[in-house]
Amino acid sequence: MIMKQTTNSILMIRPVSFRMNEQTVVNNYYQKVIENLSPENVNAKAQEEFDTFVEKLRAVGVNVVVVNDTMNPDTPDSIFPNNWISFHQNSDVALYPMFAENRRRERREEILDTLEDQGFLIENIVDYSSAEDDGYFLEGTGSMLLDRANGKAYCALSPRADEELFIEFCEDFDYAPVIFEAFQTIDGERKLIYHTNVMMCLGETFAVICADCIDDKAERKNVIENLKDNNKEVILITEDQVNNFAGNMLEVKGADDKRYIVMSTAAYSSLNQDQISKLSAHAEIIHSSLDTIESCGGGSARCMMAEIFLPLEEELEEEEELEEE
């Protein structure tokens, strides 16, 4: 089976009680309180940003499966599904252990039912969530960047990305692990970045990375060499651009398999012309304003999209028919 790096289908969760999650702010230094905005207004603004974002993706032919969040249980970060679930081409689904207790409630079985109703095939669920009981976490494709086509997984270790658990995932899903630590400066101190996908993005033919976040020179060299070994053009971004969520991009496929690089308007506005030109040579850029979601949630465009690589049942049936002929 040839493994695809980009997909046309993504899962997105429309928020109903979005706010700054008090349980994640301890190690997500990107979250901020928006003054003079009531919780209702914060949620309404997040919904508006979400709906506009979905419209832009659908307009270019991306298949966006939207599931509405529920009021109960209380899940303020449900808009970021890529942290608790990942979908794989072999019909596997992985469920992940979450650092924040209220994020564990985001794992809802009916979301899988919705995908099956849409024709996606789920044959096996690999559930790592019991590691939460022992205080070990690995937050999906927030913690890990999967180079699916080349069988490599990149992970910046943090309180939300445990090394042993990451290696276990790599063994289960047949990835070669690339492990490092990434830092950001907070009040003059170097602190671990909570999710790898904040400082790094992997496309089919390119990689966006803030190499300055990797303080250890040997680790930095190893990561860059791994990317170059797979013929990816390495596009460097700065720590300041990371603070504007420029690392939090995702490449998706629209109509006719045309590729798009998706990011927030804040991320796009932080890029210089040279970076925009380099990215545009690989795929067309789509950006949408996610200011409220970024400020309160401390996550951006990539975090909001859980890529669906599951096969469609009708495609498998067609393949079987062709084989029989």
List pLDDT tens digits, range 255-281: 999 999 999 999 999 999 999 999 999
47 within some domain: yes
1 within some domain: no
Three-class SS of 31-68: CCCCCCCCHHHHHHHHHHHHHHHHHHHHHCCCEEEEEE
When comparing pLDDT for 69 and 87, which is higher?
87
103 within some domain: yes
Q: Quote the DSSP letter at residue 203.
A: -
Least confident of 72-81, 142-151, 223-232, 299-308: 72-81
Q: In what order do the strands lie in the sheet with 250-253?
A: 250-253, 259-264, 284-288
* 171: containing domain: 9-324
4 within some domain: no
Q: CATH number of the domain that 112 lies in?
A: 3.75.10.10
**How far is it, in rounded angstroms, from Cα 191 to Cα 220?**
17
Q: Which two structure tokens, joined as six digits, stand for 168?
A: 């276990």
9 conformational bin, left if phi > 0, alpha if psi -120 to 50, beta if neither: beta
Q: Which two structure tokens, joined as six digits, stand for 41?
A: 């207004």
Spatial CA neighbour of 39 closest among 60, 51, 21:
21
27 within some domain: yes
3 within some domain: no
Taking the model in full, what pTM does it have? 0.91
Cβ-based neighbours of 233, under 8 Å, separated by 6 or more: 205, 206, 207, 278, 282
282 within some domain: yes
List pLDDT tens digits, range 110-149: 999 999 999 999 999 999 999 999 999 999 999 999 999 9
2 within some domain: no
Q: What Rg value do the Cα atoms of the chain yield, rounded?
A: 19
Instruction: Report how many domains make up the chain.
Output: 1
Question: Would you say residue 29 has pLDDT above 50?
Answer: no
